[in-house]
Amino acid sequence: MPKSATTIDTQHGAAPHTTANSSARLIWLLGPALVAGVAYLDPGNVASNMTAGAAYGYLLVWVVVAGNVMAWLIQYLSAKLGIVTGKSLPEILGLRIRRPLARRLYWLQAELVAMATDLAEVIGGAVALNLLFNVPLLLGGAITGVISMIVLGVQSRRGPHVFERVIISLLLIIAVGFTAGVFVSPPDAGGVISGLVPRFEGTNSVLLAASILGATIMPHAIYAHSALARDRFPQFVGRSDTRRLLWATKWDVSIAMLIAGTVNLAILLLAASALQGVEGTDTLEGAYQALDTTLGPVIATVFAVGLLASGLASTSVGAYAGAEIMHGLLRIRMPILLRRLITLIPALVILGSGFDPTEALVLSQVVLSFGIPFALIPLVWITAKRGILGEYRNRWFTTVAGAIAAVLLVALNVVLLVLVFSGA
């Protein structure tokens, strides 16, 4: 039967081969990257970008832009892996790491990274509830966990399509919440342009640059995206029209990274234009109070709503990634809601202990730094192998670009760790 006459099976993820126009088909194929892109808009990103703008103005604009460009390549490679092989990155690594001990050790570091990510996201949601409704942090963390369990329940019961719609709806709230202030306090165009020139001003600016990149390109987003693409398009594995889906995936990733990059840049620009030099903006609570003072309660409230949506969406995606890591590497399929409950405990302990939430966010980014090379290097290596991706393996320049991005990110994360532990 000609492709133009093939029936659409949207229930099971088959490709829409009809005479419908190309834009309609493209929209149907979008989704996985938008869900994975939520990881680029979690509370850790908010804290890093807000602090960078308040402390150094437009100096680190180039870091946000460069991080987003690298993120595009990394997320596309992750999605391509899931589409072409029908397996996630953890599944492939689980098959290729032969020794049980090595596989368990790899799982342990990946699990710690996923839990650190989850920690930051639950804390962000708790802080947002405290700012909006004066909810105690411990209760706020519990509420964030319960709502994320509901969202994950949607994924388990209703499948990837409905899960995508929920997360994308939260993504829209995040975008509005974090960009509204820029329209009230527009950035200086000259300052933005000057910020595109790569440079630093002292050790602390290097630390912040590494923090921005560490909060932007996170291991769990790499693991999750390959699984999201696998789950969304199961019938495409081995089909002749996979190349068309990969083309659509480039659009999916481009749109997701454009949204994430714009929002992250807006956070930094808002802090640079309205909060530069203001005391206390190195914490989420302080940034909220500063926005309330300088731009008014409406912008501060919208910002807090965006922070809440950020925590809820990103913790749901983080829990999904953690479940995939365990299944792929240990071949253990723990019920995702049970896993959500277990991984919620460390965040609640920290919130209940009175430990400073923003400091906990910073420490979680340090833990994430350890996991970057373990996810990124295997991704570039595997997607370059003909024996795994066949004709869809990376071209030489894609592999070179991926290797350069990996080296830069690993180097900057090493710098972050050195600066943190040296007390800079």
CB 202 within 8 A of CB 73: no
Burial of 159 (0-12, 13-18, 19+ CB in 10 A): middle
Angle at CA of residue 198, ends 196 and 201, nearest 5°: 110
Give me the pLDDT at residue 19, please. 40
Fold of 28-421: Amino acid/polyamine transporter I (1.20.1740)
Over the range 347-358, which residues count as b (16 or more CB within 10 Å of their CB) and which as e? bbebbeeeeebb
Q: What is the pLDDT along the chain (424 residues), one digit of tens a residue?
A: 333 333 333 334 444 444 445 555 656 667 889 899 888 888 888 888 998 999 999 999 999 999 999 999 999 999 999 999 999 999 999 999 999 999 999 999 999 888 888 888 899 999 999 999 999 999 999 999 999 889 888 887 877 788 888 999 999 999 999 999 999 999 999 999 999 999 999 888 888 887 788 777 888 899 999 999 998 876 555 566 788 889 989 999 999 999 999 999 999 999 999 998 888 787 889 889 999 999 999 999 999 999 999 999 988 888 889 999 999 999 998 888 888 888 889 899 999 998 888 778 767 777 777 788 899 999 999 999 999 999 999 999 999 999 998 888 888 777 777 776 776 5
Q: What does the pLDDT look like over 168-194, one tens digit per residue?
A: 999 999 999 999 999 999 999 999 999
Which residue do the tokens 């202030």 mark?
181
Alpha helices in 185-296 (DSSP H): 189-194, 203-216, 219-232, 242-274, 284-295
Q: Where are the domains of the chain?
A: 28-421
Distance (Å, rounded) from C-alpha 213 to C-alpha 132? 29
Distance (Å, rounded) from C-alpha 180 to C-alpha 276? 18
- Global pTM reads 0.88
Give me the pLDDT at residue 3, please. 39
Per-residue DSSP letters for 371-415? HHHHHHHHHHHHHT-HHHHGGGSPPHHHHHHHHHHHHHHHHHHHH
How far is residue 309 from each of residues 68, 140, 141, 341, 373, measured CA to CA in Å?
A: 21, 13, 13, 20, 29
